[in-house]
Amino acid sequence: MSKRHPAVYAKRRETAGMFFKWILRFYYKDTPDCMCGWAMKPTQVRSEEDSWICIWKKCGWETYQSDNGKLHWFIKR
């Protein structure tokens, strides 16, 4: 039985990650991209404004949109 080169497995992981990002972009269509490059999910942190949080808890980025359409970013610690 022959073993495959490690680069083959790295390419598969990369492709799987790209597919997962595509699925998240499809599911969360109208959300901004996080600073880490992944999708953000909507939250109700600020009741009067639209707000989002990164899907990864380790990232910690949050954002909200003010009345004039500007995104305000902050890191939750």
In whole angstroms, give the CA distance from residue 10 to residue 29. 28
Pairing of strands 50-54, 61-65: antiparallel
Q: For the whole model, what pTM was predicted?
A: 0.72
Tens place of pLDDT for every residue, the chain, 77 residues? 457 777 877 887 778 878 888 888 888 888 898 998 888 999 987 778 899 999 888 999 999 998 898 999 999 87
CA distance 31 to 15: 23
Tokens 């305000």 correspond to what residue?
Answer: 72
Helix (H) or strand (E) holding 7: helix 6-27
User: How far apart are alpha carbons 66 and 72 in whole angstroms?
Assistant: 8
